[in-house]
Chain A
Amino acid sequence: MRASSGGRAAPSPADRGVETATGVARRASDQKPGRSARGGRPGRPERDAAGRTRLAEIADAARRGDDGAFEQLVVETSPEIYALALRLVGNEHDASDVVQETYLRAFRSIDRFRGEAAVSTWLYRIVANCSSTQLRRSARSRHAALDDDTAIADTRPDRDPETAAGTTFERARLVAALEALPASLRVVVVLRDVYDLPHDAIASELGISRSAAKVRLHRGRRRLREALYPDVPGEAPAGAAGAAETVPFPVGERLTWAGPGAARGRAQGVGRAAV
């Protein structure tokens, strides 16, 4: 991003999609994405340096007002953004809402994105913020017990990890344990250990303190370790093994967007949920 911000070089062949972005985006959106990782198969290879640069250039073009480039950004990133949203909120319906909201916020705030962070990190943070709002909303509507500690049940039929082809037993157990975690712990574990967001970013997007984020992370990790190695008793202190640790998802806390834009004191409008 930064590299391309001063005087854009001639577009590389790989970059040509941006120039005709609207058409490309439309076509690409019709294509079915690769077979999902439902079965544990990698859905897409890790984005390499060239891929990241290309994404940064697309984001740069979008920032300079090329709406077609923004469409291209949506097409390029939506599979992983949806995967993240699904891991965070736990069901397809809410995940779709989160993806919609994420890109709307991204569109509105892209002129404040200066490329200090990777494009994907910037998007992950918005997803984290939107998911947090969504989880809080569904916690409120489930006003029965404020039982945020209940794992969000995934009722999709092909969700049984054992039936998924090519899945290692260990991975399947881990994914099942991850999905069974209370939302408040799962969100932090996913953002930190799966998507590698820094503690500070996680804390600020979730509207909790850094130390609270760490406590949740460590509890989540401990539960996953117990799920993965149930036969090896951890030297865990009393209460850690199996006991229900309640970390309620903070229903009342106000969420503030503290992403790249807020750092420059321009948070208006971004934290608002446009439902």
Chain B
Amino acid sequence: MRRAAARKGSVVRRCDRAAAYLPAALDGEHAPDPHLARHVESCIGCQAELARYRRVARLLGQLRHECEELPPGLVADVLTSVERAARRRAARRAHAGRRAALAGGVAAALAAAGVAAASLARHQGASA
């Protein structure tokens, strides 16, 4: 009799320990120790508790496919601000392009000047 009570007590303690683990069990996490895992598997109370958590998770998952009515004008506002961002980006790119072209032009001019100077020097060297 006393042994039965003691066993019952230890089961309750295990249930208490399991309660802390059950919310994690939903993600397939292992119990912190194999004794607890065995307990959860064989305890009707813990199985029922686990089923309740699974039910909560299932109901939560169903919420994903529910949509809310969009506030009027929200999509239009988003599209306007995206359009503005797109224009700014285009302007930035055009500016960068002009700068690149300018830089390229200057480089080409310098190179041409260098070639001209070199050939002039060679020419002068040859005539001297």
CB distance from B20 to the nearest CB of A (A): 6
If the complex has contacts A100-B78, A100-B81, A235-B49, are A34 and B67 also in contact, measured as CB distance less than 8 A? yes
Which chain B positions have C-beta within 8 A of A38?
Answer: 68-69
**B115 at the binding interface (Cβ < 8 Å):** no
* Contacting pair B68 A43 (CB below 8 A): yes
Q: Is B102 an interface residue when CB atoms closer than 8 A count as contact?
A: no
- Given contact pairs A29-B76, A100-B77, A221 touches B16 in the complex (Cβ within 8 A): no
Interface residues of B in 57-85 (CB under 8 A from A): 57, 59-71, 74-79, 81-83, 85
A40 at the B interface (CB under 8 A): yes
| B9 to A: closest C-beta gap in Å | 13
Is there a chain A Cβ closer than 8 Å to B26's Cβ? yes
Q: Is the CB of B75 within 8 A of A74?
A: yes
- B82 A103 Cβ-Cβ under 8 A: yes
- Cβ-based interface call for A193 (8 A): yes
Q: Count how many chain B residues have C-beta atoms less than 8 Å from C-beta atoms of the other chain.
A: 43
User: Please, how many angstroms separate the alpha-carbon atoms of A236 and B62 in the complex?
Assistant: 26
**Binding site of B, secondary structure by majority: helix, strand, loop or mixed?**
helix
Kindly list chain B residues whose C-beta atoms are within 8 Å of the C-beta of A218.
23-24
Interface residues as binary, B1-45 with A (CB distance below 8 Å gives 1, 0 otherwise): 000000000001001101110011011000000000000000001
Whether A99 lies near B74 (C-beta < 8 A) is: yes
Q: Which residues of B contact A78 (CB under 8 A)?
A: 70, 74-75, 78
- B-binding segment of A52-60, A136-144, A226-234: A226-234
B55 contact set on A, CB distance < 8 A: 228
What is the minimal beta-carbon distance from A151 to any residue of chain B, in angstroms? Answer: 17
Which residues on the B side are within 8 Å of A67 (C-beta)? Answer: 82-83, 86
Interface of A is mostly: helix
Chain B residues with Cβ below 8 Å from A87 are 63
The one of A83, A103, A219 in contact with B66, judged by C-beta atoms closer than 8 angstroms, is A83
**Across-interface contacts of A235 in B (CB, < 8 A):** 12, 15-16, 18-19, 45-46, 49
A100 to B77, CA, bound (A): 8
Is A214 an interface residue, CB under 8 A from the partner? yes
Residues of A within 8 A of B (CB): 25-26, 29, 32-38, 40-46, 67, 70-71, 74-75, 78-80, 82-83, 86-87, 92, 96, 99-100, 103-104, 107-108, 170-171, 174-175, 178, 189, 193-196, 199, 214, 217-219, 221-222, 224-225, 228-229, 232, 234-237, 240
7 contacts between A and B (CB under 8 A): A36-B67, A37-B63, A67-B82, A170-B59, A178-B63, A189-B60, A228-B52
8 shortest interchain CB distances as A-B pairs: A43-B67, A37-B66, A36-B69, A218-B23, A235-B15, A193-B60, A79-B67, A221-B23
